[in-house]
Structure 1
């Protein structure tokens, strides 16, 4: 599998050249280690960076509320 990084509008993005790779449900980025760089919930993928933010977010913070909104959308 050939993956290379490309800058698009000031952001680094991974280009997968014909391979199907997961895209994070929260940040919409392809993780550098593919399927092994995050977790799935009800068919939606979260990258390890967003996973770390979820685990360290303080209850009541805007990040925490965003995760609650996303997860509620998946489950209901």
Structure 2
């Protein structure tokens, strides 16, 4: 969570007040989904979102954090 806070704090489009909402939004089958909800002005929303996503991906790569791809196994029973 501290990584997300650092990234948000570094973005000039994000408002400092109120504090951003950061937390686990869902425990899925093969992932832990994190909600990152900073406050930005309406015209800044789309560019801020793109910049934050890019910064998160870059930081994950720097820290060797892997994002797993969902896997599905199919078994054929009684195959002829």
TM-score normalized with structure 2 length: 0.28
* Greater relative contact order structure (CA < 8 Å, 6+ sep): 2
The structure richer in strand per residue is 1
